[in-house]
Amino acid sequence: MTRLITEWIADIESTIKKKEEQLKSRTGMNYKALVAKASGCSVNDIERASWEIIIGVVPITTGLGMIGSFPQSVAAIAGAMGFRSFVTEHTDVDGIYEAYQKEADLIYIADDDRFIAMNLHKKKVADNNIATVAGYTAALEGMTGPLAGKEILVLGYGTLGKEFAKLLKKKGAAVTAYDNDPDKAELLDKSDIRLIRHPDEIKEFRFIIDATSEGGWLHQQHLHPEAWIVAPGVPLSLDPETYERYSDRVVHDCLEIGTATMLGMAL
């Protein structure tokens, strides 16, 4: 999980409704519908759960410490899904205890290494990396239809890239990967995934998943004129002018889709 910075998520509480409208215009799905598709539950399941489940978000201070507004942003995403949510006043173990005392049914916690949602009653845990992959794959399906038989390029073969490759292959897609890290390229060479080595080759692909963590390196000359892009990687790889050119064909956020999908997976 790429460590976020405050400025990337500071306005989620005020912009999430607009982001949901953009998501629906590009994929045909709002957050509930996307989460249902990604997690295997139904929209009715999510709505019923929202009447019953209380969500607590616990700030964690260990390691590098809290990211400003992160707990509030997570709570806002759960709220946009129709759930009652709160941020605990206390942090760490004391915060978990507070959430339990306030009868939270599900809690979100994150440290330097992992971001999870825990259902305290069902003993279910949803990991942000897995949820992000499922959510963005569902978004790509919403934009382009079933993925079986499609050739899809995964940019970045780190933690997310590997999970995307697994899920895409399960769905019958042909997976190609690009990574400029020589060690990861060598790993890909030994796998059954096709490898491309130069950014100019990216323009051969109409369907792209951007799981990199370097901003502004992907330019218009690198992209197919009719490219469809889902981009969980932060910061966004597309430079501002290229994003403007392709904006109706891009789904990207820093936190919302992954966090919402975690909720569905933990129900």
Query: For 151-170, how does the pLDDT look when each residue is reduced to its tens digit (9 = 90+)?
Result: 999 999 989 999 999 999 99
**Cα(263)–Cα(117) distance, rounded to whole angstroms?**
7
Query: What letter does residue 28 receive in the DSSP assignment?
Result: S
Residue type, 135: G
Q: What is the pLDDT of residues 88-126, one digit of tens each?
A: 999 999 999 999 999 999 999 999 899 999 999 999 999
Lookup: tokens for 96: 């978990």
* Eight-state DSSP code of residue 222: G
Domain ranges of the chain: 6-127+256-266, 131-252
Residues 191-234: tens digit of each pLDDT: 788 889 899 999 999 999 999 989 999 999 999 999 999 999 88
Give the global pTM.
0.95
pLDDT digits (tens, 9 = 90+) for 38-63: 999 999 999 999 999 999 999 999 87
Domains 6-127+256-266 and 131-252 share a fold: yes
The residue with tokens 């949901």 is 20
State the Cα–Cα distance between residues 267 and 264, nearest whole angstrom.
5
C-alpha dihedral (157, 179, 193, 154), degrees to nearest 10? 70
To which H or E segment does residue 175 belong? strand 174-178
Reported as type and span, the H/E element at residue 100 is helix 92-101
Q: Tell me which architecture the domain covering 6-127+256-266 has in CATH.
A: 3-Layer(aba) Sandwich (3.40)
pLDDT at 233: 84
Where does residue 208 rank: exposed (0-12), middle (13-18), buried (19+ CB within 10 A)?
A: buried
Give the DSSP H/E element, type plus range, for residue 210: strand 207-210
**pLDDT tier at 189 (50, 70, 90 boundaries)?**
low
Over residues 140-158, the mean pLDDT reads 96
CATH topology for 131-252? Rossmann fold (3.40.50)
Type of residue numbered 141? E
Report d(CA 35, CA 164) in Å as an integer.
17
Q: What span, in angstroms and rounded, lies between the C-alpha atoms of 185 and 84?
A: 45
